[in-house]
Structure 1
Amino acid sequence: NAVIDYLAAQFKSDNGVDLKSDKLALQRLKDAAESAKKTLSSATEAQIDLPFIASGEQGPLHLQTSLSRAKFNEITASLVKKAEQPVLNALKDAGLSFSHIDEVILN
């Protein structure tokens, strides 16, 4: 949701339209954010292109932007920090250490 919030806020700032108030636009935004997250697992930048995402006074509006891995990390830093202690506790309770973890899959 952090990426969705970021993209929606950026679009609202640029165009004066709140994508979160439109269910279809919000779903398209969610799908694009998920795709960007997956792309960023193997690339340093993800392109987000949502044509005709909304309508403004001048006609159709499009969301075209890029999201860097650095910006993604910045946007999600508080969520990662929030999850840190529960993960450490779970590892401790399971008798495991970081060396037992091969990969992390975010959903």
Structure 2
Amino acid sequence: DWMAAEFQAEEGVDLKSDAIALQRLKEAAEKAKVELSSSTQTEINLPYITATASGPKHLVKTLTRAKFEQLAGDLIQRTIEPCKSALKNAGM
């Protein structure tokens, strides 16, 4: 969502309405997540992510580990209680 929102703010194009662009965003997000396990930042580079009347559009963003942790923080917090409950139910 962050990459799509950033792109829309910069280019005025909603990538969430394009299934192929959305798939490329998901793949890039997964790759960035893996790279951030061993680096403090990564570059997300998706050339020709879409096109408008003015020509092709490219997505190039730098994502830091700190920003990724901020973006994922809410999701992580929401999983803590279900994990604790599962561990308790398993007798651990």
Above 0.5 in TM-score? yes
Instruction: Kindly provide the amino acid, as one letter, of the partner of residue 7 in structure 2.
Output: F
Quick one: which of 4, 8, 22 aligns to 1:8?
A: 4
The match for 1:105 is none
Quick one: which of 19, 26, 35 aligns to 1:30?
A: 26
Cα separation, 2, equivalents of 1:50 and 1:77 = 25
Q: Which runs of 5+ in 1 are unaligned?
A: 97-107
Matched positions, count: 92
The match for 2:43 is 47
Paired residues for 1:64-83 under 5 Å: 64-83=60-79
Q: Alpha-carbon deviation of 1:39?
A: 0.8
Structure 2 length-normalised TM? 0.94
Cα separation, 1, equivalents of 2:37 and 2:85 = 26
Q: Alpha-carbon deviation of 1:88?
A: 1.1
Q: Which runs of 5+ in 2 are unaligned?
A: none
SS of match in other structure, 1:43: coil
Instruction: Kindly provide the amino acid, as one letter, of the partner of residue 58 in structure 1.
Output: S
Which 4+ residue blocks in structure 1 deviate beyond 6 angstroms?
none
